[in-house]
Structure 1
């Protein structure tokens, strides 16, 4: 079914790179108009008659409120909010400062709350409004050195359920996507920073029963469905999309 988001207006935070860019691309292909909300300008090639850029520091509550109002005034309303933007660093509890923790929570958990709060009055005015939060498989388990990141993503999963429960009667659905390893410029930098990057890549592939790593448009495809009328009876759910990685039990291999 083509143009599943025809006539819809969406905000995608961090929509200019990585997973966010995959979501933006698929939304536009399905007929939506998209506002990319983030601190830095997206690549010029992403901006066209269906895509605009609204600058905002997502650690600043005034910027968040202003960005939502700018989108509504510029595009004529709001049907879909995708809380995608996030940060990640690797520090154990011992290594982490209070400021580190607060920064992670400000971007990964507080910003989605403030964006949702600012968007709700506009989403109420639309038919079939949808909030899609980007969580993580690390909201369900954790890699080493990720206590703050895992906590923030588990919080997103809980927040998703609460928004669905509180606002379903207003015609607003809320779901989350929990991605696994998704190819991006940052993940490539991470792999190539390893002493034996080819071995790391092979081991990463072996972790995935589907035999490949994820692409941003894999997440975009699911986001389209969650934002469309096809998922009208779906709310409060967390969808793991990880190529089967979290279902595969590890075995020691000599």
Structure 2
């Protein structure tokens, strides 16, 4: 069986941890060369002849443009862009400052725009390209205290559709993945910080019809498909990957 991404070159922002690391791992397994683009270096164990690190502050437009050009020069091209990097905090509208809002939008929404803008001339020149944006189920609904995060992810979903419509005729596809609860070091810290973490884990499990929580590789496998020729007729879509969580209606507990 031929690996689905053999010979492809990909940028994965935030590809050194959490969901991003799962995407990086799956891309490498499927034959791609990957450039992890983020502010801090990924673990040395992730870097090899198929994975490089390019430093960039994703709130800085000049560093974003420079990073994309660096990847093209070092790896010899660019076929796939995965806009994964993001931030989250919990503040209501009243608790949030304007600077808080701007930070969320800069990383979660403006950075994907700038990365797409920087990659677009190369994609257009070669006549193809696949963009995979990481949105969230919170772009479709919201948890308490997440107005900025939900707004940014809803924006990612809308941006995805618009890019697909504008650039499909150039051979450039753009899709989004909307993950639900995905296990990571940050999610573990969050659960462990709860007064009754065991109860929280049980309730989280009960929310998911598949009987487990998501793993970064789950998202990575979907990203592989969206980046590959197997999804050649797919563009402008948002794929929810949440173990059925958003399809399960809550019932009152006695």
User: Please, what TM-score do these two structures have when normalized by structure 1?
Assistant: 0.99
Give deviations 1:164-217, integer Å, cap 9, x for gaps: 000001100000000000000000000000000000000000000000000000
Q: Does 1:72 align with 2:85?
A: no
Query: 1 CA distance for matches of 2:219 and 2:29?
Result: 14
> Which runs of structure 2 are paired with 1:91-102 in the superposition (5 Å)?
91-102=91-102
Report the Cα offset of residue 253 of structure 1: 1.9
Q: Does 1:106 align with 2:106?
A: yes
Unaligned 5+ residue runs, structure 2? none
Query: 2 CA distance for matches of 1:219 and 1:66?
Result: 28
Q: Which residue does the alignment assign to 2:209?
A: 209
Query: 1 CA distance for matches of 2:126 and 2:204?
Result: 42
Q: Does 1:157 align with 2:157?
A: yes
Query: 2 CA distance for matches of 1:26 and 1:2?
Result: 14
8 Å Cα contact 2:36/2:51 also seen in 1: yes
Q: Does 1:3 align with 2:13?
A: no
Query: 1 CA distance for matches of 2:84 and 2:68?
Result: 15
Q: Which residue does the alignment assign to 1:167?
A: 167
Report the Cα offset of residue 252 of structure 1: 1.3
Query: 1 CA distance for matches of 2:120 and 2:50?
Result: 23
Report the Cα offset of residue 127 of structure 1: 5.1
Query: 2 CA distance for matches of 1:155 and 1:2?
Result: 36
Query: 2 CA distance for matches of 1:189 and 1:70?
Result: 35
Query: 2 CA distance for matches of 1:2 and 1:23?
Result: 19
Query: 2 CA distance for matches of 1:37 and 1:84?
Result: 10
Report the Cα offset of residue 125 of structure 1: 3.0
Query: 2 CA distance for matches of 1:120 and 1:113?
Result: 10
Report the Cα offset of residue 124 of structure 1: 1.8
Q: Which residue does the alignment assign to 1:132?
A: 132
Unaligned 5+ residue runs, structure 1? none
8 Å Cα contact 1:78/1:126 also seen in 2: no
Query: Is the partner of 1:125 in helix, strand or coil?
Result: helix
Q: Which residue does the alignment assign to 2:52?
A: 52
